[in-house]
Amino acid sequence: MFIRISLIVAIAAALFVSGWNIVKVREKITTLITQRDDERGKKVEALSNLSKAKTDLTKSQDALKQATQEMADAKSERDKAVVTATAQIKRADDLSDKLTKTTQDRDQAQTELGAYKATGIPADQVGKLSRLLKESQETVEIVNEEKMVLQRAKTRVEARLAKYEGPDPTIRLRADLRGKIVEVDPKWDFVVLNIGLDQGVLEDGELLVSREGKLVAKVVVRSVEKNRCIANVVPGWKLGEVIEGDEVSPAHPAS
């Protein structure tokens, strides 16, 4: 009987120990599974961060390449502007000399004509001098017109040079420049103005749009023709709808 009881106790003890071991093993398995899941999550996160880092690196390399190309393009544009400015300045000086000489010839012809008339010189010689005087006056007018055209071209070139090399890249327009909007494209936010090269408009110049003395928007000139130009509305400066008839004036007038 004692042996049976001892056997039962031994079996019960063995079962208890086995159950205890199973609980411990289960806890270890649960811990290992948790650790495995944590490691897997960290690995996935690390791989995601690595992929993002590679993507950011590629974007940075592309941005650097684009910036390098834009810098090279800007340098090329600046060099072209310098060459053009030099040629325009030389031509302006030549025209100025030509205008001075032509003006002197005209004044001399007028003096000689007056002298001939006072001394009673024959009419045919007076007529010849009159034709010479008229031709000189026409030449002066032509040279003056060419000088004005060249001066406008010189101003445009100087503005482009200032944009690339000047301490202040702001394009300054004539203080008395005034114009109106004649066409509006609300879809693409661009307008057509009734002022252009002949009135002193420069590419990249900025104009304030107003109506009845109130600011409506600011536009920047993108292309210029003889008597008109096209400008885009500057983002963040659209305080109201731009309409035909709105007035424009320089945002940065020249002093």
pLDDT in tens, 183-227: 999 888 899 999 998 898 988 899 999 999 999 999 999 999 889
Return the pLDDT at 65.
78
Gap between the Cα atoms of 70 and 134, Å rounded = 54
Residue 241 banded pLDDT, cuts 50, 70, 90 = very high
Assign residue 90 a region (left: φ > 0; alpha: ψ between -120 and 50; beta: otherwise).
alpha
Gap between the Cα atoms of 3 and 183, Å rounded = 115
Q: What's the pLDDT tens digit per position in 116-127?
A: 555 555 555 556
Phi, psi dihedrals of residue 243, rounded to the nearest 5°: -130, 165
Q: Looking at residues 60-76, what average pLDDT do you find?
A: 72
Q: Where are the alpha helices (DSSP H) in 120-215?
A: 123-165
Residue 13 banded pLDDT, cuts 50, 70, 90 = low
| Domain coordinates in residue numbering, the chain | 1-167, 179-250
Gap between the Cα atoms of 220 and 234, Å rounded = 7
Q: What's the pLDDT tens digit per position in 77-118?
A: 766 766 666 666 677 667 667 767 777 777 776 676 666 555
**Contact in structure between 105 and 134 (CB atoms under 8 Å):** no
Assign residue 168 a region (left: φ > 0; alpha: ψ between -120 and 50; beta: otherwise).
beta
Residue 144 banded pLDDT, cuts 50, 70, 90 = low
Gap between the Cα atoms of 98 and 92, Å rounded = 10
Fold (topology level) of 179-250 = Thrombin, subunit H (2.40.10)
Is pLDDT larger for residue 211 or for residue 24?
211
Return the pLDDT at 113.
63
Per-residue three-class SS string for 104-125: HHHHHHHHHHHHHHHHCCCHHH
